[in-house]
Amino acid sequence: MKHIRNFCIIAHIDHGKSTLADRLLDFTGSVTDREKQEQLLDNMDLERERGITIKSHAIQMDYIHNDEKYVLNLIDTPGHVDFSYEVSRSIAACEGALLIVDAAQSIQAQTISNLYLALENDLEIIPVLNKIDLPSANPEEVTDDIVDLLGCDRDDVIPASAKTGLGIQEILDAIITRIPPPSGKVDAPLRALIFDSVYNPFRGVETFFRVINGTIKKGQHIKFVATGKDYYADEVGTLKLTQIKKDEIKTGDVGYLITGIKDAREVKVGDTITDAKNPTTEAVAGFEDVKPMVFAGIYPVDTEDYEELRASMEKLQLNDASLVFTPESSAALGFGFRCGFLGMLHLEIIQERLEREFDMTVITTVPNVSYYAYTNKNPDEVILVNNPSDLPEPSTLNRVEEPYIKASIITKADYVGPVMSLCIEKRGEITNQTYLTPERVELTFDMPLAEIVFDFYDRLKTVSRGYASFDYSPIGMRESKLVKVDVLLNGNKVDALSALLHVDNAYDIGKKMCEKLKELIPRQQFDIPIQAAIGSKIIARETVKALRKDVTAKCYGGDISRKRKLLEKQKKGKKRMRQVGNVEIPQEAFMAVLKLND
């Protein structure tokens, strides 16, 4: 066991984690020349297209140091704030972490939040200064920033370049000398932590685990503590680039397990595996429940696909434990699911994965957050409002509370003004402003989560020309003046387009929604009024004009009354059509409401 090292790589997005992981695999000879490719561990098409890591990936490397053979278990983690739950799971399975900082971009908001996550779990931190070969790199200054942040010596920071392979040897030596070996009792009952799982259509659920005490053997009778179900371990093994079968996985090691489970609901990430005959008395602690931030409805385009969508969501939840969903129905869209996501990028990725991996074409409604409503009748009873249609009538409503977050933004001193005005426009209150260096500022705001859900991240990048990094954490609920804005098409409410908005913004956003929908809704044979309303009060209106046939074309000359007769006849027909006509809303209309500022 003293020759095992479990470590993860944490960093801000685009600081070179995946490339560094490639170099470590090359250097330890874990991949052959044939298998080599850029960002080797990012094996999803989506990850490659977008150049981001979405899933944490575990891989084992063998390395000889001072003539002794060591086993290194690396878990590569995502860098985007929306996937912080993946990072927390990886950290729980490790003893040490490589903290990567880009020498050109310096410390970013996500670097700091991931670092605190690692320190809370008592991980040994090895700081690595990456990309020092770039012409824009500033290694001296960034090293000082890292020393200030960690309180370590300058000599502890390893300069490296994942592109050229510089410093890889030093990183591997530091992993072996600085990261402690796993501690655990070999002779104690089996106790293993599930940190990830994936659904394989041919073999059922594959579970990835880290053994904390005892050993797990092939054919062993095992039990999952949280679900209380027991199985036989059909196959166990270690995770190299491909899965390598083993007879047993010992204390401190990481591996995979196949038990032939076909039902995705039977495996919970963060659960404990133990021996069925001699179970452990305590489950593995330290796994928090996921707190979804953004909620949206996901509906099948064809209502007959509802059950198929449920099965796909369950399989996807296996691989992405931060996805939370409950069934719901909508008057406009039929049966579907109310899903909780960690952010907008997470929502986009889930929608893409459903389409690519499960061939499910889905409609996503306008994302929103959860509110607490209180009525006059019972002012202490909390009503959870996940959907604007759940909001009680305005006459019975006492108050509404919305979730607030603490937003930390690190940017260049030149962009402090535009960033501040953006945050204040989004109802943010500045709580702190710290100059990390003369050039770089950390701004802290208290903001309503609902305001950052839509286009905040994109606009932040725009006003700061890409130089701002953003991270947030929830700080609880606060009272706000919110109203429900409904969208009416042809006099009918479209519940999927309803939104809860702050009183001050309701008129502007209602007007913009109507204008946007006017562009997107195809013209029909009759006029379509698009209205935004608060309760029974209409606050904005646009009209999609009817397509009209030129019925007077056959009238050559003659009295005007002949033309008028034909036009009156057409008008009656249009009126009748409008009473019975249905308006189809294209999918773009649901998503366009988010991009009102474009």
- Is 36 annotated in a binding site? The answer is no
Q: Is 68 helix (H, G, I), strand (E, B) or coil?
A: strand
Distance separating alpha carbons of residues 472 and 460, to the nearest angstrom = 14
Beta-carbon contacts of residue 82 (< 8 Å; ≥ 6 apart)? 341, 342, 343, 344, 345, 346, 349
Burial class (CB in 10 A: 0-12, 13-18, 19+), 445: buried
Q: What distance in Å separates the CA atoms of residue 139 and residue 130, rounded to the nearest whole number?
A: 9
Instruction: Flag whether 133 is marked binding.
Output: yes
Backbone angles phi, psi at 188, to 5 degrees: -75, 165
Cβ distance 472 to 81 under 8 Å?
Answer: yes
Round the CA-based radius of gyration of the chain to a whole number and report it: 28
User: Does 138 carry a binding-site annotation?
Assistant: no
Q: Is 130 annotated as a binding residue?
A: yes
Q: How far apart are CA 455 and CA 57, in angstroms?
A: 30
**Could you tell me if 345 and 80 are in contact, meaning their C-beta atoms sit under 8 angstroms apart?**
yes
Q: Alpha helix (H) ranges present in 179-233?
A: none
- The annotation status of 14 as a binding-site residue, yes or no, is yes
Asked if residue 17 belongs to a known ligand binding site, the reply is yes
- Return the closest-CA partner of residue 283 out of 55, 1, 92: 92
Question: Can you tell me the distance from the alpha carbon of 362 to that of 539, in angstroms, rounded to the nearest whole number?
Answer: 31
14: exposed, middle or buried (Cβ count in 10 Å: 0-12, 13-18, 19+): middle
* SS3 state of residue 64: strand
Annotated binding residue 253: no
- Largest Cα separation within the chain, whole Å, is 107
455 marked ligand binding residue: no
In the Cβ-directed half-sphere of 269, how many Cα atoms lie within 13 Å? 28
**19 annotated as a binding-site residue:** yes
Residue of 78, 58, 75, 28 lying closest to 256 (CA atoms): 58
Per the annotation, does 165 bind a ligand? no
Collapse the DSSP code of 205 into the 3-class scheme (helix H, G, I; strand E, B; otherwise coil) and give the result: strand
Binding residues: 14-19, 130-133
Binding residues for GTP: 14-19, 130-133
